């Protein structure tokens, strides 16, 4: 948790500095009362970008590790890994078997009747 907060603060400070410097280079002082709305939008953008970038860094660049230094593997369901569920696959296989059995019965009945 401390790592996420530290990343958020650092990245937010960098994003805020970049946004403020770009605004200054365009002739806008975001602290001027005349540009208060643009300054608030810049603040919201800074907070959002800081949150998203720190989340990305936490997940991708600095992943969790176990006691031995190996990457901590989180057990995920088949649905998360492959976009499918093993229970769904089992139900579909059972349905296919029922349909095949019904077709076979129907063909036997048709042979006996005709």
* Residue 16 confidence (pLDDT): 94
* Residue 80 confidence (pLDDT): 62
**pTM of the model as a whole:** 0.56
What is the residue whose two structure tokens read 């939008």?
Answer: 41
Share of the chain above pLDDT 90, in %: 50
Phi-psi map region of 27: left, alpha, beta (phi>0 left; psi -120 to 50 alpha): left
Stretch 85-103: mean pLDDT = 88
To the nearest whole number, what is the mean pLDDT of the chain?
86
Who wins on pLDDT, 59 or 81?
Answer: 59
Who wins on pLDDT, 65 or 7?
Answer: 7
Whether the pLDDT of residue 77 is over 70: the answer is no
pLDDT tens for 24-48 read: 999 988 888 998 999 999 999 999 9
């Amino acid at each position: 948790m401390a790592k996420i907060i530290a990343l958020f603060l650092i990245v937010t400070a960098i994003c805020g500095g970049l946004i403020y410097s770009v605004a200054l280079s365009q002739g806008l002082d975001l602290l001027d009362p005349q540009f208060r709305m643009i300054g608030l939008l810049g603040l919201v953008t800074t907070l959002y970008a800081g949150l998203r970038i720190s989340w990305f860094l936490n997940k991708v660049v600095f992943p969790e590790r176990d006691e031995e230094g190996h990457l901590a593997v989180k057990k995920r369901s088949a649905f998360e890994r492959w976009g499918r569920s093993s229970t769904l696959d089992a139900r579909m296989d059972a349905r296919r078997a029922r349909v095949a059995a019904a077709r076979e019965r129907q063909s036997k009945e048709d042979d006996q009747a005709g």
